[in-house]
A and B are shown apart, each in its own frame.
Chain A
Amino acid sequence: DAKTTQPTSMDCAEGRAANLPCNHSTISGNEYVYWYRQIHSQGPQYIIHGLKNNETNEMASLIITEDRKSSTLILPHATLRDTAVYYCIVASGTSYDKVIFGPGTSLSVIP
């Protein structure tokens, strides 16, 4: 079973911020939170990851709660090209076989 819980689907208006939540209440101290997205018919693409501090890159921001039991991926100005399935996973550096990609959140950006 996936170690994360995400909403099945979300809509976001073009140009607005998309906030995608993820619950990972059983996360271990050595596990990072990773976010990927998958545009239709392509392989998943890495977006961002973090351990406990908030992170930002050119694609998105990642906000991790202080207790690390949940996180939010923020796409600051969503475009139609951001329509994709977004996966939140938790992973450490030693258990490749335990990395599980669940169903993710299907984000639809609406004009």
Chain B
Amino acid sequence: DVKVTQSSRYLVKRTGEKVFLECVQDMDHENMFWYRQDPGLGLRLIYFSYDVKMKEKGDIPEGYSVSREKKERFSLILESASTNQTSMYLCASTTTSTWAGGYTFGSGTRLTVV
């Protein structure tokens, strides 16, 4: 089975801290995604990546950056965490040969910024 692993299930950070959320997939997928999920808003795409060192902005990239130095790893960075970034963060991956909807998701990281 494809595994998408997110490094932390729960994280508490202080306002202004730099936060790294890590995601690793083990099936050589080309495409990786970061979403955030908030009550009543569904999943919103933050950033995605087609390949190593490539990134594309999603719907809500403000306040975030990403890094993809290796194919299996996609990191989401909150440069200066704010309370409005308190959310559930979900990483997903898919192959290029799979239709865009065929995602495998990680279990999520619930981030609280205080």
Q: Which residues of A contact B (CB under 8 A)?
A: 2, 32, 34, 36, 41-46, 49, 87, 89-104
Contact = CB atoms under 8 A, between A and B. Distances in A.
Contact of B104 (A46, A89, A91, A104): A46
B100 A95 contact: yes
- What is the interface residue range for chain B against chain A? 20 to 34
Given A43-B90, A94-B100, A95-B100, A100 B105 contact: no
Given A96-B33, A100-B42, A42 B108 contact: yes
Interface of B: 4, 31, 33, 35, 40-43, 45, 48, 50, 56, 58-59, 90, 92, 98-108, 110
B108 A43 contact: yes
Contacts of A97: 45, 48, 56, 58-59
A41 B48 contact: no
A89 B103 CA distance: 11
Contacts of B56: 96-97
B105 A45 contact: yes
